[in-house]
Amino acid sequence: MNESKTQPIGSHDGREPIGATSASLALMTAALWGGTPVAISYSVDTLPPIGTAAIRFVLAALFMLVWCRIEGTEVRLRTGQAKPALIAGLLLFVQIGLFHWGIAESNSSHASLFINTFVFWVAAIDHFVTKADRLTIWRLLGLLLAATGVSLVLIKTGAVNDSNPATVVGDAPNFKGDCILLASGFLLGIKIVYTKHALKTIEPSKLIFWHDVVGVVLFFAYCGLFETMQTSDFNATAIWGLLYQGLVVAGLCFAVQTRLLGRHPASQLVIFSFTTPLFGIALGFLFRGDPLSPWLFVAGICVACGILMVNTRQRTVVSTVDEVA
């Protein structure tokens, strides 16, 4: 959410320095966002990837409807607001669809690494395309550091898959899946840049609600045409995974982040986002038994440091629940 679009909460003006409580809450949301690929992995064990996304965003849309009512935002689209909502919903459908498909093909640890490359795609687009935020030498070095980490993972995963294709089972990383996840991260960067543009004509909460609705329609249409979903597929772990994605991430994380943005500058809060891929890799290892190779560890550090370097002097930040997929 653009800092200028955030409404103050209570008597706060959005300029308070970050204290221990706010820092702990920011780290908590980063950890919960890092757990999203793990929750998706549990759901797609038995449910089809796009069908999982459909149910996830039904829950997210319901939450946003309630949220709009709470903050007094009218959900009816005014003249000129339908087009940005449709475009954002289409971007959501393609980006999230690739993300869920990529997790089904690869694993949650690699998903956490590749989806968080959106930070670098946003920086590159803002510099080379929109000219909205120029890259400094320091931030360019952050991009190069992250690109090195991502390249290491792709090269090593590709080499393992080529030499031992029969070992690519379960939650083992897969080169094809990693490329799909990287494409999802790229599209997320495009979606965030477009969101910043769309916020000029439509309120943030309304935009999120309607792009969720558009996404849900497209997800269910795709699932009905190309996937099969049965009642027996909904086991306990799949349901808990869906509830985590739709309520914990779309609900709790969004509410906490909104309140933090009402107290503190977004440019300070975004610094904590560098921990998200590290949390994701750790949670994938702990809960899914994802392989924790030295290369993945090095790549995670490279991407985390790159995020920190790119955001150090970044002037504006878009921060919504759906941006971390």
In a domain, 13, yes or no: no
Q: What span, in angstroms and rounded, lies between the C-alpha atoms of 48 and 223?
A: 8
In a domain, 54, yes or no: yes
Tokens of 238: 């799949």
156-161 long-range contacts, CB within 8 A, separation 24+? 156/293, 156/295, 157/110
How big is the CA angle at 84 (ends 314 and 217), to the nearest 5 degrees?
Answer: 115
Average of per-residue pLDDT across 28-53: 96
CB-based contacts of 184: which residues, under 8 Å, 6+ apart? 95, 96, 98, 99, 102, 114, 115, 325
Judged against a pLDDT cut of 60, whether residue 322 lies above it is answered with no
In a domain, 8, yes or no: no
Q: Which residue type, as a one-letter code, is found at position 34?
A: G
Q: What is the pTM of this model?
A: 0.88
In a domain, 9, yes or no: no
Judged against a pLDDT cut of 80, whether residue 192 lies above it is answered with yes
3-class secondary-structure state, position 131: coil
Judged against a pLDDT cut of 90, whether residue 120 lies above it is answered with yes
Q: What span, in angstroms and rounded, lies between the C-alpha atoms of 156 and 147?
A: 14
How confident is the model over 133-172, as pLDDT tens digits?
A: 888 999 999 999 999 999 989 888 866 665 554 444 457 7
The predicted pLDDT at position 309 comes to 92
How many structural domains comprise the chain? 1
State residue 178 phi and psi, 5-degree precision.
Answer: -65, -40
136-141 long-range contacts, CB within 8 A, separation 24+? 136/313, 138/309, 138/312, 138/313, 139/309, 139/310, 139/312, 139/313, 139/314, 141/309
Q: What are the CA-CA distances from residue 39 to residues 51, 195, 269, 320 (Å)?
A: 14, 26, 25, 19
Q: What are the CA-CA distances from residue 92 to residues 89, 183, 265 (Å)?
A: 5, 13, 26
Domain that holds residue 289: 19-324
Question: Other C-beta atoms within 10 Å of 72: how many?
Answer: 8
In a domain, 3, yes or no: no
In a domain, 205, yes or no: yes
Judged against a pLDDT cut of 60, whether residue 229 lies above it is answered with yes
The predicted pLDDT at position 14 comes to 60
In a domain, 10, yes or no: no
Among candidates 267, 246, 257, 254, which has minimal Cα distance to 310? 267
